[in-house]
Amino acid sequence: MSVTLEPVKPVPALVSVAITLTLWFLIPPPEGVSQNAWHHLALFVGTIAAIIGKALPIGAVSIIAISLVAITGVTNPGKPGAALADALSGFSNSLIWLIGISIMISISLTKTGLGARIGYMLIALFGKRTLGIAYALAFTETILAPVTPSNTARGGGIIHPIMKSVADSFGSKPEPGSTEKIGRYLSLVNYNTNPITSAMFITATAPNPLIVSLIAQGTDPAFELSWTMWAVAAFVPGIISLLLMPLVIYFMYKPEITKTPDAPDFAKAQLERLGPLSLAEKVTLGVFGLLLFMWAGVPELLFGDAYAINPTTAAFIGLSILLVTGVLQWDEVLKNKGAWDTVVWFAALVMMASFLGKLGLVSWLATTVGSGIDSLGVGWIPGMLILVLVYVYTHYFFASTTAHITAMMAAFLTAGIALGAPPALLALTLGFSSSLMMSLTHYGTGTAPIIFGSGYATLGEWWKVGFVMSVVNLAVWFYIGGLWWKILGYW
Give the pLDDT score at 69. Answer: 95
Q: What is the pLDDT of residue 404?
A: 84
pLDDT band for position 1 (cuts 50, 70, 90): low
Sorting pLDDT into bands at 50, 70 and 90, what band is 489? very high
Question: Which residues, 6 or more positions from 203, have their beta carbon under 8 angstroms from its beta carbon?
Answer: 98, 99, 102, 145, 146, 147, 148, 149, 227, 295, 311
List all residues 6 or more positions away from 234 whose beta carbon is below 8 Å from its beta carbon: 199, 200, 201, 432, 481
Rounded to an integer, the average pLDDT of 26-37 is 90
Q: How far apart are CA 137 and CA 118, in angstroms?
A: 10
The DSSP secondary structure of 163-192, one letter per residue, reads HHHHHHHTT--SSTTTTTTTHHHHHHHHHH
Q: At what angle do helices 423-436 and 227-252 cross, to 10 degrees?
A: 50
What are the backbone angles phi and psi of residue 342, rounded to the nearest 5°? -60, -45
pLDDT of residue 58: 84
pLDDT, tens only, 250-272: 999 999 999 988 888 888 998 99
> How many C-beta neighbours within 10 Å does residue 397 have?
9
Please provide the average confidence, as pLDDT, over all residues in the chain: 89
Q: What is the pLDDT of residues 428-457, one digit of tens each?
A: 999 999 999 999 988 788 788 888 888 899
61 — alpha (psi -120 to 50), left (phi > 0) or beta?
A: alpha
Question: Do 203 and 227 form a contact (C-beta atoms < 8 A)?
Answer: yes
- pLDDT score of 345: 84
CA 429/CA 291 separation, integer angstroms: 27
167 CB-near residues (< 8 Å, 6+ apart): 173, 181, 182, 183, 186, 187, 456
> pTM of the prediction?
0.76
Burial class (CB in 10 A: 0-12, 13-18, 19+), 228: middle
Q: Give the C-alpha distances (Å, rounded to integers) separating 189 from 114, 141, 274, 434.
A: 21, 11, 25, 19
For residues 9 and 346, give the distance between their C-alpha atoms in angstroms, rounded to a whole number.
22
**Digit-coded pLDDT (tens) for 107-141:** 888 888 888 888 888 888 888 899 999 999 999 99
The pLDDT, as a whole number, for residue 116 is 83
Q: What is the pLDDT of residues 381-423, one digit of tens each?
A: 888 998 999 899 988 877 678 878 887 888 889 888 888 899 9
